[in-house]
Structure 1
């Protein structure tokens, strides 16, 4: 869930986040050092220019002019090297940070994704990490060199003329004081813009990922208005930001211009009365111009700091979420072992009970079916066995082993899962069949499992066959074809435990007949758990559990339940008309 943002930048949190990216600090310090050396070279130039101007009457000092040119070029080269190092440092940090956050997201528990929009996570991964990089590789080094440049300029100015320096020391903080309220407002707007961008990203992802539902539901008007509301909010925030910046920069420019004119007039007067040389006034003006840029950079730094603070909180909130545990060493022993749910309770985060005191036993190499009204908790049972969620009470065992103590990756490798909406990822048919598997498979092996799933026929008719692209979410294959590819994938995994969640639902009779044949082959010699959609699917099950309102109302064979459980008899009468 999104955490409430605080208004202060927490350096400790920021440093912890950067450390997690394992940065190359030598690039930061070397780049910063080169930047400081370049800044020092720029600070020396006006001092040399002072001597050059004061000696104009005697002619131009060639060596001094060359020294000034060398300092200019040398400072530019050092600045370029500094920028390259800092850019490399920042890009590495953001790459490592994104990899760290991506790895974290991949291993987060399913309940986290139930509560957070995917588009928001995308914004965190892309936009927020960019804010961190901007602060670390650009804003922070620029702020350090700006402080150095300000302090250095004032020191040189004090040495040259303390009276004019005092005027500057009074005027520059006054500029900051005038700008501070405006900068605070800009910081607040920047954080608001960041959050609204994440919300908008979430809205876009949700809408475009289900664009067919949008069109089938004639929901274009609703989505247009909903998206338009967020766009308008972004517009209003952007307008505020633009107005503040439109006021801030001209105000700062006007103030600095007034300062320059005032100092120029004061300096001209002192040159006229002979208390200051022309070279000193020329150098002083050069230092004044060197002060203007750092003042502007330091003013913007507070805005960058606010954005990075929000980004830090967002990324840390993700990194602090609990992950699925993959480091168990106990390997599952499934062959000839019964699977059992013992007094299992489950509730989602809102506390509303979904399952209450559920007891189920699936003997090895048998078929167990779950039937019951929609929303009674059947799919939740399979999700608990898959370990997408944890029971709030009770335990699930395989033999004498609690499945939560088993190596998670090995446990899931032992499970084949085919659902009503079998997931297909963008890529080729070959990629979908071998998705998540470490082994290499020959074309012959892939064609074999496709044949077992009655899917080889339509795959051979495709232009690229195994290398045919299925499109985003498998849009280029039909529902029946998608199901048969999922069954072929299950054949390839050769699981000990098979789970079928209404695998033939919403299919035409021809597709259903093919898939039923494929499933019959797949179920042979395996412990199979079925959520039934057709009566023919469950009548031959070794054990049927009737789930009603999160509880097991009764269990037995089809005939036993017809004779002993009125609810089951009524349910069969209503739901399984064939």
Structure 2
């Protein structure tokens, strides 16, 4: 049963590779030149036999020497061309594989990234595809040329001396008996090694990405131990892999040497009896080496194939995940349309409910605020409206159209999202302002300075020597929290959203920055439908409606005065914060 599963699991590997668009002319021409190389190479032992059997100074004709030299030169040149073309095919397959993975990852739902560390995903794209690349570019060309060489050599040997060829073929079942169990062992070790590499990559990326947290928490010793533990696990698995290789090499060498000794012994007897010429024995040995050398590479090829199969299983797991279809659905202008949530519920994959029966509406131009204890589900509502997640029950509509019927790209293009983290990409201020916009390079400096002015960001950007071309560092670490937030607001101005969502947009700022950012947000909200999450009630007392959420349920809806009068917990929040 296990062997059947093994055979079945190798099929997806080849299916995946053949699904990649490759330069077929390179593959065909590469294989054709390999065939020519093999034919030329197979002529060399026959020419050598003629040279040995008829050896004398007089027999050394210029024609024979020229034929040998030409055979070697042609073989070398054509072999180089063949290896290059087959390597091109391998590189194209791996490049196509990485392209597919990258394009697929960018379209996966947010839920996948909630459950998988980004470092592990990076390892799949880089390390796992690297294993496949090593197989295809380094080992596959040798495997193809080796197969052709072995077939041609065995055919000629059967014609030359079938008895000695059969003696040589006794090594085949012995080699298979060695390779199958070792190959299975290698596959198991390889899967463990790839998984551990992904975990280690994820840990390293997380630690380095949060280096300030690590240092401010004096967690160097903790991270040292975790990192060293990961290194030791990789070392242990690497040594287990080395043991398999250490067994394969000597065992293959032993089998080859036994066959060579048997051939030389039996051939020597045949030569002494006169039933075989010395030249024929030399030719036979040369053909034997033409078979032995590829066989030695086959051992490594099949172990690498086992490793690549394990890597491919993980790649396929990612490629089979459902993805967001950006442009499937209708293009809809949401200007002047009411956003409604009706009896919406949501639970993550573990089944624990986060929202239960949430209903409210946001009319055009209204400011709707969300308040309540932490963990009540306010941010999850934003995630559902952004369509990061799908409701498990209920409907979300814009006008009379379910938002699921609107193309995701069209929907998100009309939403502006400002969060308390004020996420930024590494690069320049200019690149962050235009991030994700079509024709980002076409925006004039005047337009970028205009939105920066509206977001109260013009002054500090102008103070930098490079202005809009100032590098912000990874995740914007070279800027203060207030500066990052104002750039995020300027970016929202540039997008000119119809629906604006703000999640704790001033929660992490000092009082001075909060005042400036608050003014910028006030400008941004003018004339737009706005959804706001805030712990500080002072920022939402002027909201048209306040939705109070506790434990995933809406327990009150109204303006500040109405909720103060009828909602006990909201009144308690207001007394604590506003008096």
- TM-score (normalizing by structure 1): 0.95
2:162 counterpart residue number: 162
1:306-345 → structure 2 map (5 Å cutoff): 306-345=306-345
Counterpart in 2 of 1:3? none
Q: Specify the alignment match of 2:482 in structure 1.
A: 480
Residue 127 of structure 1: aligned partner: 127
1:510 to 509, 512, 517: 512
Confirm or deny: 8 A CA contact 2:433 2:491 kept in the other structure: yes
Q: Is the 8 A contact 1:34 1:81 kept in 2?
A: yes
337 and 186 in structure 1: CA distance in 2 versus 1, 3 angstrom threshold:
closer
Deviation at 1:213, TM superposition (A): 1.7
Segment of structure 1 superposing worse, 118-127 or 421-430: 118-127
State the partner residue of 1:371.
371
* 8 Å CA contact retained: 1:9, 1:309: no
Partners of 1:130 and 1:408 lie apart in 2 by 33
Which residue matches 1:16? 15
2:34–2:82 CA contact under 8 A, matched in 1: yes
Structure 2 residue runs without a partner (length 5+): none
1:55 aligns with 2:17: no
Which residue of 495, 498, 501 maps to 1:496? Answer: 498
Cα offset, 1:360, TM superposition: 0.9
User: Counterparts of 1:8 and 1:577 in 2: how far apart (Å)?
Assistant: 70
Match in the other structure for 1:411: 411
Q: Supply the distance in 1 between the matched residues of 2:28 and 2:84 (Cα, whole angstroms).
A: 13
Separation in 2 of the partners of 1:142 and 1:545?
68
Which residue in 1 is equivalent to 2:425? 425
CA distance in 2, matches of 1:255, 1:11: 27
Distance 2:70 2:176 in 1: 34
Deviation at 1:185, TM superposition (A): 2.3
| Corresponding position: 1:524 with 2:526 | yes
* Aligned positions, number: 572
> CA offsets per residue over residues 26-83 of structure 1, 9 Å max, x none?
2112212211221221122101110111010352233122212211111111111111
Q: Which residue of 1 aligns with 2:24?
A: 25
- The SS at the match of 1:56 is coil
The residue number in structure 1 matching 2:149 is 149
Q: Deviations over 1:486-535 (max 9, x none)?
A: 01111111111111111001211110010011111111111111101322
| Shift in alpha-carbon separation, 1:359–1:165, aligned structure 2, 3 A | same
How far, CA to CA, are the matches of 2:8 and 2:68 in structure 1?
Answer: 41
Cα displacement string for residues 85-113 of structure 1 (whole angstroms, at most 9, x for unaligned residues):
11211222222221121111111111111
Are 2:401 and 1:397 equivalent residues in the alignment? no
Q: CA deviation at 1:150?
A: 2.0
Q: Tell me whether 1:453 sits opposite 2:455 in the alignment.
A: yes
C-alpha contact (below 8 Å) 1:9/1:306 kept by paired residues: no
Give the CA deviation at 1:471. Answer: 0.5
Partner SS, residue 552 of structure 1: strand
d(CA) in 2 for partners of 1:353 and 1:126?
Answer: 36
Q: Distance in 2 between matches of 1:328 and 1:168?
A: 62
Contact 1:504 1:533 in 2 (8 A): no
Q: State the SS of the aligned residue for 1:102.
A: helix
- Residue 357 and residue 172 in structure 1: after superposition, are their counterparts in 2 closer, same or farther (change >3 A)? closer
- The secondary structure found in structure 2 opposite 1:425 is coil
* 1:367/1:529 contact within 8 Å kept: yes
**What is the alpha-carbon distance in structure 1 between the residues aligned to residue 166 and residue 331 of structure 2?**
76
Unaligned runs of 5+ in 1: 1-5
Residue of structure 1 in register with 2:465 after alignment: 463
List per-residue Cα deviations over 1:365-415 (Å, max 9, x = no partner). 111110000000011111111111111111111111111111211211111
CA distance in 2, matches of 1:240, 1:500: 52
Offset, 1:544: 0.5
Equivalences for residues 173-572 of structure 1 within 5 A? 173-439=173-439, 440-572=442-574
- 1:270 deviates by 2.9
Question: Structure 1 residue 180: deviation in Å?
Answer: 4.0
The answer to which of 456-465 and 158-167 deviates more is 158-167
Contact between 1:191 and 1:306, CA under 8 Å: does it hold in 2?
no
Residue-by-residue CA offset, 1:314-353 (whole Å, 9 max, x unaligned)? 2221111111122234223322222111110011111110
Higher mean displacement: 183-192 or 151-160 = 183-192
**Structure 1 residue 295 displacement after superposition:** 1.3
Partners of 1:10 and 1:545 in 2: CA distance: 53
**Greater Cα offset, 429-438 or 135-144:** 135-144
Give, in angstroms, the shift of residue 200 of structure 1: 1.6
SS in 1 for 2:276: coil
- Relative to the length of structure 2, the TM-score reads 0.95
* Distance (Å, rounded) in 2 between the aligned partners of 1:12 and 1:535: 60
Query: Aligned with 1:525: secondary structure?
Result: coil
Mapped partners of 1:504, 1:182: distance in 2: 60
